[in-house]
Copies of this chain bind each other. A is one copy, B any other.
Amino acid sequence: MKKNKPKYNQIIDAAVIVVAENGYHQAQVSKIAKQAGVADGTIYLYFKNKEDILISLFQEKMGEFIDTIRLKTAGIESAVEKLLMLVETHFTLLSENLHLAIVTQLELRQSNKDLRLKINEVLKGYLQVIDEILRIGVEKQEFREDLNIRVARQMVFGSIDEVVTNWVMSDHKYNLVALSTTVHELLVRAFENRN
């Protein structure tokens, strides 16, 4: 990803920090530029406008995020195990990057509808991974054959997201990763085949 544009990533990384520490509405372009160690105008050599920084931020970071989860779950046979890996990886990646967690769970949700639509585009990739796991689970008869994939996917994403948001808002006082198995177990019970 734009390997020969070090400033591009420099600015995105600065944006993550500035948005996380100051909040979406206090993340002025000049603050991001300062954090990135470049002039204000330099931002505009790499991004069309302020919104473009935030969209790119989400695309880059969430892109990596999804790639990692896709990779980690790919080698696993069982859908149940895939789902555990997904929850664990999701929680682990955000635990390891508090700034990113704050930005994705709290700050970017304050953005306007246009930005949120772009964000949803990116999230579709993640939802596809969930869908795929659910489909495989049904095929392999790990999950009930009449599982409503769309609702199930919303339950997976909604549950994970709510757990992470609660953790972020509680100032990450407890261990998020430790909740993986609990969340995973509840989801599996919800979906499993009981013949």
Assembly stoichiometry (copies): 4
Set of chain B residues within 8 Å of A159, measured between Cβ atoms: 154-155, 158-159
Whether A65 is near chain B, meaning CB under 8 Å from some CB there, is: no
| Given the contacts A109-B109, A109-B110, A186-B190, A154 and B162 also touching, CB distance less than 8 Å | yes
Q: Helix, strand, loop or mixed for chain A's interface?
A: helix
Is B110 a contact of A186 with CB atoms below 8 Å? no
In the complex, what residues of B have CB within 8 A of residue A157's CB?
Answer: 162
CB distance from A166 to the nearest CB of B (A): 6
Cα A179 to Cα B159 in complex, Å, equals 17
Q: Is A155 within 8 A of B155, CB to CB?
A: yes
Contact pattern, A 166-191, Cβ under 8 Å of B = 1, otherwise 0: 10010000000001001100110111
B155 touches A162 (CB 8 A): yes
Cα A127 to Cα B83 with chains together (Å): 26
Tell whether A25 is near chain B: CB-to-CB under 8 Å.
Answer: yes
Residues of B within 8 Å of A166, CB to CB, are 154
Chain A, range 66-110, C-beta contacts under 8 Å to B = 106, 109-110
Residues facing B in A121-176 (CB within 8 A) are: 148, 151-152, 154-155, 157-163, 166, 169
**Partner of A155 from B106, B109, B186 at Cβ < 8 Å:** B186
Cα distance, A117 to B169, chains bound together (Å)? 9
Whether a CB of chain B sits under 8 angstroms from the CB of A23 is: yes
Beyond the given pairs A151-B182, A159-B159, 10 more chain A to chain B contacts, judged by CB atoms under 8 angstroms and listed by A's residue number, are: A110-B110, A117-B169, A120-B169, A148-B186, A151-B183, A152-B186, A155-B159, A155-B186, A158-B160, A158-B163
- Closest A-B pairs by Cβ, 6 of them: A158-B162, A190-B190, A158-B158, A155-B159, A186-B190, A154-B162
